[in-house]
């Protein structure tokens, strides 16, 4: 009888271990939606972009051209969980006229870059990108996050070895677990998620300015999560809410004037 119990306990342990191992795959299936194709030189030229920090088959992102002409500083954009950096030329169109150099950072495993997906990998790689940009261009340096990219920006800015003047977060969350719990039972979210992107904790000691932009009708990351993050930030901060906007259509409702207002806040 004791042997049967031990066997049953062992089987249970193996099943739990298998379920946890499978959670890594399940999590990635629900969080990360990369476009694996590297953008062609012709497509980038048409968008006013060039490959930035290429090394062999790898690169760190795309930069607005001409990259040398940016009296207002450099903005590094960390995009959302789908597609690739080349899809985010919208930010360059908004920020280059304001005299910023724009780097569209790319994640490992996206846009033809080698590497695996995940919070640890993304944050480590993002820190290297930020350090490389500071070494090349100097201050002032700003970080802009979009959705998932907000979690990356929060982790980098909260512990950056180089000065980050200000951060801009479009449709951010407080932490990924709280977002997941709004779509599924909390105990399932805790089991499935190994990546937490806890922006509240990561920004607890950030001393620069923080601009938060929520979308009023966001049904993927409801605006209450942006509001919770805003409430938690101890430093200089300001929040905008884009009326009538959802998670994916807010760029169609965001004006150049709003971008100017945001950048004026974080830069002054």
Whole-angstrom CA distances from 148 to 97, 153, 154, 189 are: 26, 9, 10, 17
User: What stretches of the chain adopt beta strand conformation (E)?
Assistant: 33-34, 49-52, 61-64, 73-78, 82-83, 100-105, 141-146, 166-170, 209-215, 237-242
DSSP letter for 55, please. B
Q: What is the 3-state secondary structure (H, E, C) of 22-48?
A: HHHHHHHHHHCEECCCCCCHHHHHHCC
**Which tokens belong to 222?**
């409801």
CB 242 within 8 A of CB 215: yes
pLDDT, averaged in runs of 10, over the chain (268 residues): 46 39 57 95 94 96 92 97 97 97 98 96 98 97 98 96 96 92 65 86 96 97 97 96 97 97 97
CB atoms within 10 A of CB 259: 20
Whole-number Å distance between alpha carbons of 117 and 127: 15
Q: CA 108, CA 255: separation in Å to the nearest integer?
A: 31
Q: What is the DSSP string of 90-121?
A: HHHHHHGGGTEEEEEE--TTSTT--S--SHHH
pLDDT at residue 66, rounded to an integer: 85
CA 252/CA 131 separation, integer angstroms: 32
CB 142, CB 168: distance < 8 Å: yes
What is the Cα–Cα distance from 153 to 140, expressed in whole angstroms? 16
Distance CA 27, CA 65 (A): 37
């Amino acid at each position: 009888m004791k042997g049967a119990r031990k066997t049953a306990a062992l089987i249970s342990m193996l099943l739990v271990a298998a379920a946890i191992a499978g959670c890594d795959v399940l999590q990635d299936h629900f969080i990360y939606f990369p476009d694996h194709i590297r953008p062609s030189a012709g497509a980038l030229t048409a968008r006013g972009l060039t490959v930035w920090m290429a090394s062999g088959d790898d690169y760190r992102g795309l930069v607005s051209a001409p990259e040398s002409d940016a009296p207002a500083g450099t903005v590094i954009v960390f995009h959302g969980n789908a597609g690739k950096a080349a899809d985010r030329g919208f930010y360059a169109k908004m920020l280059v006229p304001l005299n910023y150099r724009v780097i569209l950072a790319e994640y490992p495993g996206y846009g033809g870059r080698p590497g695996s997906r995940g919070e640890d990998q993304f944050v480590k790689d993002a820190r290297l990108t930020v350090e490389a940009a500071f070494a090349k261009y100097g201050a002032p340096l700003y970080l802009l996050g979009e959705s998932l990219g907000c979690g990356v920006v929060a982790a980098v800015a909260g512990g950056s070895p180089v000065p980050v003047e200000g951060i801009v977060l479009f449709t951010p969350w407080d932490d990924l677990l709280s977002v997941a719990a709004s779509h599924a039972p909390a105990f399932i979210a805790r089991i499935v998620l190994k990546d937490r992107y806890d922006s509240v904790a990561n920004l607890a000691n950030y001393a620069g300015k923080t601009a938060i932009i929520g979308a009023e009708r966001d049904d993927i990351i409801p605006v209450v999560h942006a509001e919770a993050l805003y409430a938690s930030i101890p430093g200089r901060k300001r929040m905008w809410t884009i009326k009538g906007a959802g998670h994916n259509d807010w760029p169609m409702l965001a004006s150049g004037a709003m971008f100017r207002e945001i950048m004026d806040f974080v830069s002054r």
